[in-house]
Amino acid sequence: MKPHPPKPLFVICGLAGEKKLKGTVKINGAKNAALKAMAAAILFDGPVTLENVPDNADVTTMTEILRRLGATVNRKNGSITIDSTPIDSTDIDFKLAASMRASVVLTGPLLGRFNRVSFPAPGGCVIGARPIDLFLEGYKKMGATVDEDKCSYKIEASDGVKGTEVFFNKQTVGGTETLMMAAVLGTGKTVLKNCAMEPEIVNVAEWLNACGAKIKGVGTPTIEIQGTDGQLLSANKPFVTIPDRIEAGSFLILGALCAENMTIKDCEPKHMGAVINLLRDSGVPMEIGKSGIKIMKNVAPSAMLSPVADLRTHEYPGLPTDLQAPMVVFLSQTNGESRVFETIYEGRFKYIDDLNKIGANITVLNPREVSIQGPTSFDSASGEESAEVCAHDIRAGFAVVVAALIGKGKFTVSNIQLIDRGYEKLEERLRALGANIERK
């Protein structure tokens, strides 16, 4: 047996608290919209084109899953063309799907078009329980049967997907998207209540409507879908992926701590109200444009930034759970105590030990709440070559990179294959801003 190649690392030399980064960051297309549009391609008669698609590891995984189902997928210069006509299997690849939770959205289009699908328990980042009961109960109401064992599910709607009413006991982005897509080709009207309202859902639904779907109310808590009775959609226009608000928010937090002047371009500020307001209220000087944000004359020491007494993650338009970890790093540099309550996932504080190891003063009060005392200095251990921290998930990985950049000395970030899932060529983009970071 051949030995596994060593996993890549980031090696970072910190800025010792100085705001030396500068320049412009271009924001890529939203991963969480592109992945769902890739799944939705199954609903179409013939090839569809997706534009402004990010080149990250999750998109690569979804590409390979679709190919193993039989679809033709071609990628070129930020665009992807998908033809679902050749699909000859509805069994989602177990190994690939187990590595990425977004793969579960494929079940909706596959069930809607082929009336059957099998898939593994969804995987991805280890950030808490991800029950899919909401999906399964929805499929049952749509007339499907669900057979399951401890690691897989088989769903069949022998008479096709039927219109029904589904009330989500809690807002769920994946559940909203997946059941919406399952209903598109179905029979009758499906009403989804207490839906998630994220911009990525709106982005996909508006494209589907332009191509023959009948979806109303997207972006509100109630969505109605009138099924097409099996009529496949027509590729009347390409899907254009909206800017990634999580990536934009991540770089905005980075700039707030590490840059005197930085421009974040090709973003959608109206999708980022929560993080913009939090940073502005803390004292970060910003200029907000139609499609860009400028951090300007950010010269005051971070210790002059104001803490946040009670910050809570929330479904859109609240602070995204995916920006919780970068915000905790930000708050570790503010002057006073902040508290962060994670309302979405109970397992998202695994990175706290890594931050405390390099100098943070953060107390985990319970699985959903932390207290942060700032300002603190991040420092690699004296007498050692570098301090080692780990990327526990995509966003916590970005957070520890930011902490290392703030810090003094040399830092090694492991498990960066998780960061690659959500941030395209991160080290190259950070070097272009002046960071000292290498992939080993």
Question: What pLDDT shows up at residue 134?
Answer: 85
Q: What is the largest CA-CA distance in the chain?
A: 69
Measured between alpha carbons, how far is 326 from 309 in angstroms, rounded to an integer?
A: 17
Is this prediction's pTM over 0.85? yes
Contacts of residue 381, defined as CB under 8 A and 6 or more positions apart, other chains included, come to 358, 387
Judge if the upstream peptide bond of residue 5 is cis by omega within 30 degrees of 0: no
> Looking at residue 126, what is its pLDDT?
46
Q: How far apart are CA 12 and CA 111, in angstroms?
A: 46
Q: pLDDT tens per residue, the chain (440 residues)? A: 555 667 899 999 999 999 999 999 999 999 999 999 999 999 999 999 999 999 999 999 999 999 999 999 999 999 999 999 999 999 999 899 888 888 899 999 999 999 999 998 665 444 444 567 888 999 999 999 999 877 789 999 999 999 999 999 999 999 999 999 999 999 999 999 999 999 999 999 999 999 999 999 999 999 999 999 999 999 999 999 999 999 999 999 999 999 999 999 999 999 999 999 999 999 999 999 999 999 999 999 888 999 999 999 999 999 999 999 999 999 999 999 999 999 998 889 999 999 999 999 999 999 999 999 999 999 987 546 789 999 999 999 999 999 999 999 999 999 999 999 999 999 999 999 999 999 99
Q: How are beta strands 362-366 and 369-374 bridged, if at all?
A: antiparallel
CA 91 – CA 237 distance, rounded (Å): 29
Query: What is the C-alpha to C-alpha distance for residues 402 and 14, in angstroms, rounded to an integer?
Result: 9
**Beta partners for 145?**
156
Cα 65 to Cα 376: distance, rounded to the nearest angstrom: 44
- Predicted pLDDT at 377: 95
CA distance linking residue 98 with residue 428, whole number of Å: 29
pLDDT at 124: 45
151 is catalytic: no
Q: Within a 10 A sphere around the Cβ of 332, how many other Cβ atoms? A: 28
What domains can be seen in the chain, in order of their start residue? 10-28+243-439 (3.65.10.10), 31-240 (3.65.10.10)
pLDDT at residue 149, as a whole number: 79
